[in-house]
Amino acid sequence: MARSLVKILKQEMSEIETCPDCYMNAHQNPKSWFTERSAHPLIWARLKGFPFWPAKAVKWKDGNVDVRFFGRHDRSWVPIKECFLFSEQMPTPLKNRNKTLEACLQEVNSVCVCVCVCVCVCVCVPN
């Protein structure tokens, strides 16, 4: 019990360090925070054994990108070579685009409009 609590706290702390804004938004607007305006570029990211998936790039470190995937909003480190800036075409097209992916892309589209400006800024001026 104590150990799992420590684990949770560590996770929370690292989430706050990663992006205080997202952490706050996720808690204040659990339903809508993910598609709200944020400074994180949209990307296609691929985890080993999975297709490319739309995600937000939250931060960069040692050749890896800390991403949040659309859909389940889960977090993962993805090698930078498996990350591409988001465009309508997937880097590697899926033969069968499944419903899950379609739903995620709809979610992405609801972000795109307000994020595209931020993406340009992020790409031109990486921090």
Cβ distance to Zn ion smaller for residue 70 or 101: 70
Find, among 41, 110, 100, the residue nearest to 72 by Cα: 100
Structure tokens at 55: 């995600």
Cβ distance to Zn ion smaller for residue 59 or 79: 59
Report, in Å, the least distance between residue 8 CB and Zn ion: 20
Report, in Å, the least distance between residue 22 CB and Zn ion: 3
Report, in Å, the least distance between residue 94 CB and Zn ion: 28
Burial bucket for residue 51 (CB in 10 Å: 0-12, 13-18, 19+)? middle
Contact call for residues 45 and 52 (beta carbons, < 8 A): yes
Structure tokens at 59: 């931060």
Torsion of CA 41, 116, 89, 125, to 10 degrees: -50
Report, in Å, the least distance between residue 76 CB and Zn ion: 15
Residues of this chain that interact with Zn ion (CB under 5 A) are 19, 21-22, 38
Cβ distance to Zn ion smaller for residue 101 or 119: 119
Cβ distance to Zn ion smaller for residue 57 or 101: 57
